[in-house]
Amino acid sequence: MRLKALFSFLLFITLSFGYAQIEDKQLDSLIVETLSTFEVPGISVGIYKDGEIVYAKGHGLRSLNNKKAMNAETLVGIASNSKGFTCFALAMMVDAGKLNWDDKVRTHIPEFQLSDPWVTEAFTIRDLVTHRSGLGLGAGDLMFFPEGSDFTVENIISNLRYLEPESSFRSTFQYNNNMFIVAGEVLKRVSGMTWEAFIESQILTPVGMTNSKASYNRVTDRSNIIDAHTRAEGEVVQIPHDWSATANPAGGIISNVPDMLTWAAFLMNDAVTKNGERLLSSEQLHELWQLQTPLHVSPDDAYDAHFKGYGLGWFLSDVKGGYKQVYHTGGLLGTVTQFTMIPDLDLGIVVLTNQMNGSAFNTITNTIKDAYLGYENRKWLTTYGNRNRAFIQYNDSIKAEVYNRVKAAEKLKGLPQPKQIVGTYTDDWFGDIHITYNAKKGYTIKSERSSRLSGQLLPLNATTFVAKWDNRSYDADVYVKFTFDAHGEAVSATMSYIAPITDFSFDFQDLELKKTK
């Protein structure tokens, strides 16, 4: 099915009769093409329009291992789309008179502390959920990402004081998950319930999201749930689910298309359930969708936006010259999702995937959205497909060049000797990293507290090595640069990405490793 024909048909039906009357096969064709273009095993898509679900289907496979089909009911981790639920829960506490958005965090968590004493005292609940802390992108995420670390919520709160800011307080948008973990702890302390228990009993159940759970480990029936997938070493492979329950307030919810469309309908019905129960005041729902942290808008923005920014747990913008858009995306290792609402059009779109390629959900969401907004066919599949191929080629070329240099370094003279670098290196918030050497196996590197971060340490030149992680699905290999004292002994080390495809939650660049043993 050609995209031009598809779009024309979508637009005609939308403007003439309402989207509900479109033949499913027209949208099916786009989704099937999207699967193959971006090497995504499975995608489920849902559309809510004018009070009813007009499309809810799964396509492809929920798992490359079991070959079972993806359908609308297939459970998927919605990742950071969970942030909207966390903020909704906090807003319920505001309605209940148990907190205010501008309460100081230390009022509820006295031990909360950042590196700057003034910022510590000034930091509010609102600041926790608007990505304006001053900390860098993903700062501290290694405490819960990837899964397998032993950091507790208490550890994370205690360690925030060691993270150095990249910008001044409240001046810059820098996405941060750990502040949402703190927000989840605030909810626990003011409500008397765990974040998971509150989300399920006070939101998911009354809203009617009957198949959703607040955490992967709370899903008891896994007969229809995805496996995660990613591109590793040039091919898409199935990988284990990866998410630490410690970070659930930032991204723990498991859901499916019907439930997420129920969530959209509920929110666009002014937070009133199908049974007529109001869960949040109009004032607080309005507050959630108010701009808090502005973002730059390109002069040639694809949706003619005048503004963009972040509200309380939601991205916000206008589209097509005035329609308010409320949206978010989410990503886990092997899973990415997108949730979009245009309340003025009573339109909700959800795209859930089981491969970490955001070009797939952008292709589908934008094509559907364009039909309702009246844009001409903009060939998103072609645009994103070309970008995706170029990006993969670019990253693959960087990695190939680096490992060619590693191979060539085997013949170099003057490389550090094991006695110069072997030992324990300690970061204030991440703990110990051990570097060892075996004459047959060479160097190894391993985190003490995040057990899955282990791998080879390969010489590159006189000061720099490459950490090649054992788990190749991470796609997060890094340079490890050593600093030596006057006697040639390593005293410290820093890390940096090899390729830009590395997920920002692998915040190796924030580590300041000092040799302690």
DSSP label at 80?
Answer: G
E-assigned strand segments in 19-160? 42-49, 52-60, 76-77
pLDDT of residue 19: 37
Digit-coded pLDDT (tens) for 97-147 = 999 999 999 999 999 999 999 999 999 999 999 999 999 999 999 999 999
pLDDT of residue 517: 87
Express as a percent the part of the chain with pLDDT over 70: 96
Q: What phi and psi, each to the nearest 5 degrees, are found at residue 426?
A: -120, 135
Instruction: Identify the burial level of 324 via C-beta atoms within 10 angstroms of its C-beta, where 0-12 means exposed, 13-18 middle and 19 or more buried.
Output: middle
CATH 3.40.640.10 fits 14-26+38-357, yes or no: no
User: In tens digits, what is the pLDDT along the chain, a chain of 517 residues?
Assistant: 333 334 443 443 343 333 333 457 889 999 999 999 999 999 999 999 999 999 999 999 999 999 999 999 999 999 999 999 999 999 999 999 999 999 999 999 999 999 999 999 999 999 999 999 999 999 999 999 999 999 999 999 999 999 999 999 999 999 999 999 999 999 999 999 999 999 999 999 999 999 999 999 999 999 999 999 999 988 999 999 989 999 999 999 999 999 999 999 999 999 999 999 999 999 999 999 999 999 999 999 999 999 999 999 999 999 997 999 999 999 999 999 999 999 999 999 999 999 999 999 999 999 999 999 988 889 999 999 999 999 999 999 999 999 999 999 988 888 999 999 999 999 999 999 999 999 999 999 999 999 999 999 999 999 999 999 999 999 999 999 999 999 999 999 999 999 999 999 999 999 999 999 8
Q: Single out the residue of 417, 401, 351, 254 nearest to residue 45, CA to CA.
A: 351
pTM of the model: 0.93
Provide the token pair at 353: 């995937």
pLDDT of residue 23: 58
Instruction: Identify the burial level of 440 via C-beta atoms within 10 angstroms of its C-beta, where 0-12 means exposed, 13-18 middle and 19 or more buried.
Output: exposed
CB 37 within 8 Å of CB 387: no
* 85 Cβ contact partners less than 8 Å away, ≥ 6 residues apart: 199, 203, 253, 313
* 509 Cβ contact partners less than 8 Å away, ≥ 6 residues apart: 494, 495, 496, 497
Q: DSSP per residue over 254-274, as a string?
A: EE-HHHHHHHHHHHHTTTB-T
Digit-coded pLDDT (tens) for 403-436 = 999 999 988 888 999 999 999 999 999 999 999 9
The structural domains of the chain, with segments of one domain joined by +, span: 14-26+38-357, 409-515
Q: Which fold has domain 409-515?
A: Lipocalin (2.40.128)
Q: What is the mean pLDDT of the chain?
A: 94
Q: Do domains 14-26+38-357 and 409-515 have the same CATH topology?
A: no
